[in-house]
Chain A
Amino acid sequence: MRTHQFVLTMVLFLALGGEAFSQKFATKTGTIRFYSEAPAENIEAINKQVNSALDTQSGDFVFKVLMKGFQFEKALMQEHFNENYVESHKYPNASFVGKINNLSEVDFSKNGTYEATVSGKLTIKGVSKDVTEKGTFEVKDGTIGGKSIFYVKLADYGVEIPKTVMKNIAETIEITVDVSMISLNK
């Protein structure tokens, strides 16, 4: 676990690090929402303390989220999510470390909305998978908004849903990432 965190920190450092980079944007109040639609019920959870950073020069993009920070409508769902499904005591965070594939098509110096594809490693419950997802970056008066909706198959990340609640939780859940980043340059 510690090794994993160390590697992640190093990746973040190499990707975004040092004072040498002059094009870093970040936020600590990003939002990640997940939504499960199943026959018995729909479940939604939101986390509003997502760390995210972007290097507009290299296209490196990362986010990290603490699992215990997801808020559910029902307290029991939140308990099951943390204790049984994602085991947040063992795997306290999820993260994405990746890169914008079509960086040349995104002009971060000019206001506008740009379609982008981002590839990288998504880590949930200690399992890392290569993913490529579509999203948009919106540049507006010095801030950069990033939005993406993608789908995650729970079984791919070792999240097992007991048969007794299969009608309550979807096999594939919708993840919405919404971040508004400001320049770290001072």
Chain B
Amino acid sequence: MKKYLRIFTMLAATGMLAGIFVYVFVINKSHPDYAAARADYALNAGEIFEAYRSDQAAASSLYDGKIVELTGQLTAIENADNEAYLCFVLDEGLFGPEGVRLHLLKSENNKVSTLQQGEWVRIKGYVTGYNETDVLLEHGSLVQ
């Protein structure tokens, strides 16, 4: 009887541990730390913009969903609803300026005041794609 009880207890404990593991590391796993993550690619803003414009399918398969580090000349800093966006304008289109747009992480917003338009900066972000006007990045941060 004791033997069965011990087996049952072990199985129950194992099941509970597996459940906790699945809950914490699978169901409730946290988003990556984008600011600390290693970039999959490093290039300049003009290169990634031209890559999407010249062959969107090829560029999408390469960069969509990846973290890239970009170097570029900051053209504008926009604010909307307490969110900050860094813009690298590389062309003019039907909807106005086109280029690369980075939505900054909230934790990076305090760095915006140190930036100047026209300054060369290195940024990092998660590429969500190209919407036929701009290459868009989320979870953006400034690379020191």
Contact = CB atoms under 8 A, between A and B. Distances in A.
Interface of A: 2, 5, 9, 12-13, 16-18, 26-29, 31, 48-49, 51, 53, 64-66, 68-69, 71, 74-76, 78, 82, 88-89, 92-93, 180, 184
Nearest to B126: A68
Contacts, number: 81
Interface in B42-68: 56-57, 60, 64-65
A28 B134 contact: yes
A9 B64 CA distance: 21
Contacts of B78: 29
B103 A68 contact: no
Given A29-B85, A69-B138, A49 B103 contact: yes
A93 B94 contact: no
Interface of B: 26-32, 56-57, 60, 64-65, 78, 80-81, 83, 85, 94-96, 101, 103, 127-129, 131-134, 136, 138
B70 to A, nearest CB: 16
Looking at chain B's contact residues, the main secondary structure is: mixed
A69 B27 contact: no
B128 A76 contact: no
A48 B103 contact: yes
A5 B27 contact: no
Contacts of B32: 75
Contacts of B138: 49, 69, 71
A75 B24 CA distance: 12
B101 A49 contact: yes
Given A29-B85, A49-B103, A69 B128 contact: yes
Contacts of B95: 16, 26, 28, 51, 53, 184
